[in-house]
Amino acid sequence: MKKSLADEVRQSIRSIPDFPKKGILFRDITPLLLDGDKFRRCIDWFASLYEKKPDYVIILAPLYADIIMKKNQEYLKQGGKFLLFWPEFKVIEEAAAFIR
């Protein structure tokens, strides 16, 4: 059975415990970035937001949420919403909601 892109990406991300300090589990995406085909499929998936127009997109990389949302403002303008789960649960429905 063929793995989904999400499963492939999940398996590409390394977990490094206690980095950069004790108690933190660092998720290293370097292996994903080095796999050109897999990384290209991830980019294509993001591009498909404008074709498939899902109602919600979950952002699992909270440190990059601002960047992801800023680069995808058109998705928000078309009525899409981003879901954030950290540090608290939020539904982002418009570009102004996340500008700091």
CATH of the domain at 70: 3.40.50.720
What does the DSSP 8-state code read for residue 87? S
Q: Are 37 and 64 members of one domain? A: no
Type and span of the H or E element at 82: strand 81-84
- 40-60 residue pLDDT tens: 998 888 788 778 888 998 888
Cβ 8 vs Cβ 38: under 8 Å? yes
Per the structure, the complete domain to which residue 72 belongs is given by 54-100
Please count the residues of the chain.
100
- 55-84 residue pLDDT tens: 998 888 888 888 888 888 888 888 899 998
Q: Are 28 and 62 members of one domain? A: no
Q: Are 59 and 80 members of one domain? A: yes
pLDDT at 23: 94
Q: Are 1 and 16 members of one domain? A: yes
